Amino acid sequence: MFKIEKLPQGPRTILRLIGRIRLEHLEELKAQLRDDGPRIKLDLDEVTLVDVDVVRFLRACEIDGIQLVNCSPYVREWIDGSKTAIIRMMLREFRIRRPKGDDDDDAGYWPDTFHGIVKIILVGFEANTCIEGTARFGMELDYDVTLVKDATSAFEPEGIHAAHEVNGPRFAHAILTTEELPTQLPK
């Protein structure tokens, strides 16, 4: 459940955000911000979870001069766009290396971008585990993630439902069919 508490504090107003913030809550939050604008501080101490659209919104708020206070470290990493510390830690943990034949020797870790790729399209088996895990990781690396719902499968229908209807909208930029996909690709 998401809730906003408005607390006047001298010339500023603190909006205490509580709970899980999703895309559907942003209109309500934007309405509150329109009233006071940059004189607002957003207190994120009681925020439990955010989706990618909320992170983008919070980043825009800071750019517009709205102060964010009590922000959890994982949300701060997303907002700053500096996920590299977490990513590098994961890469070191899994020992992912550049393929042989790259410009450097093969001893370095992957760079923050992979050869200019900006979009990943996911199809395959086990929608609610393999596909979903890869999509989440791709989203955290700032890739544009597309799931192709009729080109994935799972052991149970609930797995497909979870991947495309419940969880997918939180991290995929698009969820398309194989028929819709070609219309979304660059010419």
From the candidate CATH numbers 3.30.750.24, 3.40.1160.10, 2.60.40.650, 3.40.50.1110, the one assigned to the domain spanning 3-80: 3.30.750.24
pTM: 0.46
Q: What is the CA radius of gyration of the chain?
A: 20
Going by their DSSP bridges, the two strands 3-9 and 12-21 should be labelled as antiparallel
H or E stretch covering 93: helix 84-94
Give the pLDDT of residue 81.
Answer: 64
pLDDT less than 70: residues of the chain: 37-38, 81-117, 187
Give the model confidence (pLDDT) of 127-140 as tens digits: 777 888 888 888 87
Give the pLDDT of residue 5.
Answer: 94
Q: How far apart are CA 61 and CA 142, in angstroms?
A: 19
Q: Which CATH superfamily is domain 112-184 in?
A: Isochorismatase-like (3.40.50.850)
